[in-house]
Amino acid sequence: MALKANEIGFVENDRLPSLRGTLTEEDGSPVNLNGCTVTLHIKYKEPLIKEAVVTDAVNGVYLIEWLDGDLRAGKWTFEIQVTDSDGKPRTWKREPTTNKLLTMVIDSEIA
């Protein structure tokens, strides 16, 4: 199944690949993540909130490692939230070119 521009795909209970992303401003320049906390929020019935590792702060790059049970089969909206050093949050939840909500498509395991 082909994914849409606002979708990313995983398989239930997998731990790889990790989710690696780059946050950018509307003009395409990277968001400086120095001193920031980055979290992923997946809208399960009871939302999953995972803290990311910032791997390249100046260029807005983060990494989220999966644990057992993090990825649950279904189609789920998600967002990335950045909290600056003053505690002010900013949220990315739409794909910039389509303006559609970001969605994870997580396939069931076969075996």
For residue 74, is it within any domain? yes
For residue 96, is it within any domain? yes
Q: Which helix (H) or strand (E) holds 27?
A: none
Split into its structural domains, the chain has a count of 1
Is 103 in contact with 77 (CB distance < 8 Å)? Answer: yes
Read off the CATH number of the domain in which 12 is found. Answer: 2.60.40.3350
For residue 99, is it within any domain? yes
Is 41 in contact with 79 (CB distance < 8 Å)? Answer: yes
For residue 1, is it within any domain? no
For residue 2, is it within any domain? no
For 29, the domain range is: 7-107
Tokens of 4: 């849409």
pLDDT higher than threshold 80 for residue 85: yes
For residue 57, is it within any domain? yes
At residue 39, the 3 state secondary structure works out as strand
Give percent helix, percent strand, percent coil of the chain, each to the nearest 5. 5, 45, 50
For residue 110, the model assigns a pLDDT of 81
Q: What is the pLDDT of residues 5-49, one digit of tens each?
A: 999 999 999 999 999 999 999 899 999 999 999 999 999 999 999
Task: Give the predicted TM-score (pTM) of the model.
Answer: 0.91
Side-chain half-sphere CA neighbours of 89 within 13 A: 10
For residue 44, is it within any domain? yes
At residue 95, the 3 state secondary structure works out as coil
